[in-house]
Structure 1
Amino acid sequence: MSTTQAEAAAAQLIYPSNVLFNSVLQNLKFYSACFAGASAGILGLQNWLGFALFLASTVFTSLCIYTLNTRGRPAKYIQGGMLELVNPGQDNVFTFVLVWTLFYGVVHVYD
Structure 2
Amino acid sequence: MFAAARSPRCRSPRWWPSLAWTIELHPEAARQLRLLAKRDRPMAKRVTDYLATLSTCEDPRDRGQGLSGPLAGLWRYRVGDWRIVADIHDERLVIVALDIDHRSRVYRD
TM-score normalised according to structure 1 size: 0.27
Which of the two has greater helix per residue?
Answer: 1
TM-score normalised according to structure 2 size: 0.28
Structure whose CA Rg is larger: 1
> Could you say which structure has the greater relative contact order, defined with CA pairs below 8 angstroms and 6 or more residues apart?
1
